[in-house]
Amino acid sequence: MRKYVLAGWYLLSVSGFGLALYLSLFRFPGRPAATMLTVLCIIPLLFIDRPCRFIPAFLGLYLLNTYFSFVVKGAEFGYIDMINGFVSGGLGFMIGTALIIMRLKSFEVEDQLIREKTTDVLTGVWNRRKLFEAIDRIKEGKETRPSGVFMVDVDHFKDFNDTYGHAAGDECLHEMGKLFLSLQQQDRVIFYRYGGEEFIVFLYDCSDKDIRETAENIRKSAAEMQVCGRRVTVSIGTVYCDDLSVADYEVWISRADKAAYAAKKNSRNIVVSWNERQQMRH
């Protein structure tokens, strides 16, 4: 039931129908099918499934009940069961449809609330809260460990804000978010807004070489953007999370942040890895 919920509900419904059919035809053949009416009314209340699958299955049960009622009970009770079953099924469909619509709307509202809590409104990517939730799940072994971490920092963003205004700055971050979401669909990356003009990126199932190539792809894609007629660039710090003894991804984020700082200090619009930063210091 846990793995195949929908199949389990179908099996449970058919089992209930079979029991009701047995009671109607063999235990109480001289009475109208009261238990069957209850089953036909309740079944539509249980399902959120495609009509092309559910309706034929439900009609099949109804016609099966009608057929056996005529065969076993005779025409008099057969007609009674047919009419009562039709009324009960119709009532179940009306109430069931209304309940399903209410349940779906409830799911949508709940999903929207979750998204508002975990999604950055301006950029559309996951927010800092979602990032630390992911880190906690990684620590608990409930989520896959990323192979690499990036810190992406928009270059000269303060100057951009001061020159063109905060509305233009917001537009810049909004466009950057649209770019990141498109890249997220293409590569094995997840973007989080860390704060201000800084973004954290988790990269999965990759090698050290893949990290460099993906980071360069992000940098080049950002450099092709223009906001208010000005070209936007980013500096990226990367770190390859190959040391399994470091379980806390806040450590990796700190290292990626230091690598990004080295990139901004060096020339901006470049990718610097944690190891390259160490070499720069020497």
Catalytic positions, please? 197
Apex CA 250: angle with CA 173 and CA 158, to 5°? Answer: 30
How deeply is 183 buried, as exposed, middle or buried, from its count of CB atoms within 10 A (0-12, 13-18, 19+)? middle
The answer to whether the CB of 225 falls within 8 A of the CB of 232 is yes
User: How much is the CA Rg of the chain, to the nearest whole Å?
Assistant: 30
| Residues ≥6 apart with Cβ < 8 Å to 5 | none
C-alpha span between 35 and 29 (Å, rounded): 12
Do 147 and 241 meet the contact criterion of CB atoms below 8 Å apart? yes
Residues near 253 by Cβ (< 8 Å), separated by ≥ 6? 149, 151, 194, 200
Helix or strand holding residue 264 (H, E): helix 249-266
Q: Which of 282, 189, 174 is nearest to 236 (CA)?
A: 189
CA distances from 199 to 107, 149, 202, 238 (A): 30, 10, 10, 12
